[in-house]
Structure 1
Amino acid sequence: MTIRSVSAIPVSLPFDIYGPKPMLAGRPRMMEFLLVRVETEDGRVGWGEAFGFAVWPATKAVIETLVDPAVRGKDEAAIAQIHDELSRKYHLLGRTGPVMYALSGLDIALWDLAGKAAGKPLCELLGGRRRDSVAAYASLMKYTDPDVVARNSAKAAGEGYGMIKLHETGVEQIRRAREAIGPGVKLTVDVNCPWTAEQAIAICEQTRELDLYWLEEPVWPPEDYRQMARVRKEGRVAVAAGENASTYLDFQAMFEAGAVDFAQPSVTKIGGITELLRVADLARRHGVAFAPHSPYMGPGLIATIQVLAACGEEIPLEFCFCDVTDNPVAAAISVRGARLAVPAGPGLGCDPDLRLVDKYRVH
């Protein structure tokens, strides 16, 4: 079989984060994602997701001008070969950012097609279904207001989540969250690369009694693995990172520096399922926990569920703690009791509802 076309469909969904929406590029952040649609000559369709948010116009342009013409006529089953060929062809345009996001979405869609061709859910192609559902942890948005942080932390704990992630940098916000959820719920904090090593270590001292399960991306720049390792050692805290890593080689450098306890590749940014699996294997060989980054609401989240369903150990899934209206893939990401069922259909297990895609498509 051969690929007929690759297209990109931007979608922007209304959503409620139970607090004020964070700002991005001068406007309230939307729940945006970029669907990637691959159609074969015999009319089969695979779906993927490229990292969206405010950068999706650039990623869409890469898909339309570089990816689509490069893969037309190629065998859609040659996933690794296509990934390697396009990575080499376009490396001069950057090994991260929109080019790699586009390749990520393509890769996910090709794996979806592979599962559909085999008549099996993706997890069965990745080593076998080890579980019928995956545990989720609540990934809260950034609220800043300590009262809102406390309220939503308590809400998440009340809904059964055994682990909660904050996106706050203030000690008071972290303290209020711990007070709201009590000692029995794991608490992690993603600070999104704001500090020097010295500043991060000072925060570790100030939050010692709050029992953080991990501190995520504590230093700027995020690729300064030597300073990250210093925070891990001197701050005496488990460190998580990887959503900003470009390739498995970045993770190799991270592991060799002793920088992290938890590796967090993002399937919509790192190069898709193909690269995600390489990072998972690399993490196992270095004794680092695999904890994928997945605060998405599209096929990227479903792909992560399928990967985790095939892992030998149970790994919690990062799940956005928000209410998304009319999600085109809602049927596959319904959380119950802080768990998500692994879709049983072939491929990813769920195609987007095209009626809702058309309704919320960005033109």
Structure 2
Amino acid sequence: MKIESIEAIVLALPYTHEGPLTGFGGHDWPVLQSCLVRVATEDGLVGWGECFGYTVLPASIAVLDNLVAPLAIGRDATDIAGLMEELKRKLHIFGRGGPTQYALSGLDIALWDLAGKRAGLPVAELLGGRQKTAIPAYTSLLKLGEPAIVARGCEKALEQGFRELKLHETTVEAVAAARAALGDDVELMVDVNCPWRFDEALDMAHRFEPYRLKWLEEPVWPPEDVEGLRRLKAAAPVDLAAGENIPNVWAFQPYIDASVLNYVQPSVTKVGGITEMMKVIARAEFVGVRVAPHSPYFGPGLLATLQVAATTPLVSSIECFGVRLGDTVFGPVGLPGADGRIEVPTAPGLGADPDPGAIARLRIN
């Protein structure tokens, strides 16, 4: 069945959180932008994907509209592996990561949604079978800064039913405040977003040791310093995690094969979609590395992550953004319940389509 159209639809989701306005990439985020990728086939079936993301969306959309869509329209939507491999080969001169890979990710996710709908099965069944009906979620707080605000954010997370929580903080004071607020029975992770050289990272890992982290995420700058991560893993008193910015399975290979990480963190909207993410998981399973997907999304990227995670015991929990949304894309689908778990949708494809009313309310140019 041939692809008839590919359309990028940008949504602006209103949100609040415990701290002041913040964001990543050097910009504050007054809203959370999500880019849906709508792929229609000539028989009228529609699949939904999502491409990363946020402040870099204009570049991702430009690649999707000007490079990916002209090559993909008219092609067989059922040949996902063949089409994605061809597109990656043709577009590799524009980068094997970044906006090129983000755009390809959105298309790939939509093609899997179409495949599930055509088969009448959730994507997890197409990937080998669903092993889980619900997956524990951990809340991933935005950067809060002040220890008192961090403590308040942790207390709110406990009230929502979460038993795992991740900070984006770089100070001992903030981490100490979180542990004091959470108590001893809640898992605590810290994502520091690549701030330190090896010796600084090792020093901070020891300073964080009293607070019993489940993992320390992206501690080393530059993030490509595999040797620095290897040395840190050997010397640090904490497990290490990274991978949201590793752009494809080949780039993951040195991290996995050299066992420099305890957790690898592929991001379905950045790594090349479901097709590439499954390759990363297979590689991790081969050497016994755990998988903790990067998934602070509210659109098809989150549902795709749930479908993938349901197929493997390597994933024990799912990341969800620690914010309060003013509107939702799928209604209650994909949101944690009172017990801090997310149900894996069982409808064909990704498990749900975006609400047309939400698209109308939230769509921006």
TM-score range, shorter chain: over 0.9
In the alignment, residue 355 of structure 2 is paired with which amino acid?
D
**Per-residue deviation, 1:255:** 1.7
Number of the residue aligned with 1:134: 135
Number of residue-to-residue matches in the alignment: 363
Distance 1:313 1:95, change over 3 A: closer
2:7 alignment partner in structure 1? 7
The 2-side partners of 1:281 and 1:261 are apart by 15
1:102-150 deviations in Å (ceiling 9; x for gaps): 0000000000000000001111111112122111111111111111101
Shift, 1:338, TM fit = 0.4
In the superposition, relative to structure 1, how do residues 306 and 219 fare at CA in structure 2: closer, same or farther (>3 Å)? Answer: same
Q: Is the 8 A contact 2:18 2:144 kept in 1?
A: no
CA contact (8 A) 1:165 1:190 kept: yes
Alignment equivalent of 1:349, drawn from 343, 351, 360:
351
Alpha-carbon distance change, 85 to 9 in structure 1, aligned in 2, over 3 angstroms: same
Scaled by the length of structure 2, what TM-score is found? 0.97
Give yes or no for contact 1:120–1:347 (8 Å, CA) kept in 2: yes
Cα separation, 2, equivalents of 1:121 and 1:325: 28
The answer to whether the Cα contact below 8 Å between 2:218 and 2:242 also exists between their aligned partners in 1 is yes
CA contact (8 A) 2:27 2:55 kept: no
1:87 aligns with 2:84: no
Partner of 2:67: 66
1:232: how far off? 1.4
- Cα deviation code 1:223-247 (max 9, x no counterpart): 1111011111112220000001011
Q: Cα deviation per residue 1:256-291 (whole Å; 9 max; x = unaligned)?
A: 333100000000000000000000000011111011
For residue 304 of structure 1, what is the aligned residue in structure 2? 305
Specify the SS of the correspondent of 2:364.
coil
The residue number in structure 1 matching 2:164 is 163
Deviation digits for residues 2-53 of structure 1, max 9, x if unmatched? 0001111111110112221214554435311110010001111000000010
Q: Report the equivalent of 1:282.
A: 283
Q: How far apart are the structure 2 equivalents of 1:66 and 1:147? A: 47
Tell me the distance in 1 between the aligned counterparts of 2:164 and 2:318. 10
Structure 1 range deviating more: 230-239 or 3-12: 230-239
- 1: CA distance, partners of 2:27 / 2:53: 17
Name the structure 2 match of 1:332: 333
Per the TM alignment, residue 313 of structure 1 is displaced from its structure 2 partner at its CA by 5.2
> Counterparts of 1:128-277 in structure 2 under 5 Å?
128-277=129-278
Q: CA deviation at 1:160?
A: 2.3
In the alignment, the residues of structure 1 paired with residue 196 and residue 129 of structure 2 have an alpha-carbon distance, to the nearest angstrom, of 41
Moved runs in structure 1, 4+ residues, more than 3 A?
23-29
Q: What fraction of aligned residue pairs are identical, expressed as a percent?
A: 46
* Kept in 2: contact 1:163–1:185 (CA 8 A): yes
Separation in structure 2 between the aligned mates of residue 273 and residue 324 of structure 1, nearest angstrom: 26
Structure 2 regions of 5+ residues with no counterpart? none
Partner of 2:308: helix, strand, or coil? helix
| Aligned counterparts of 2:207 and 2:69: Cα–Cα separation in 1 | 51
Structure 1 range deviating more: 96-105 or 202-211: 202-211
Q: Which runs of 5+ in 1 are unaligned?
A: none
How many Å apart are 1:92 and its aligned residue?
0.3
In structure 2, relative to structure 1, the CA distance for the partners of 1:160 and 1:284 (3 Å cut) is: same
Which amino acid letter does the alignment assign opposite residue 22 of structure 1?
T
Is the CA contact (8 Å cut-off) linking 2:23 and 2:142 kept in structure 1? Answer: no
- In structure 2, what is the equivalent of residue 360 of structure 1? 362
Task: Note if contact 1:303-1:348 (Cα within 8 Å) is conserved in structure 2.
Answer: yes
Q: Are 1:121 and 2:122 matched, yes or no?
A: yes
Output the amino acid matched with 2:153: N
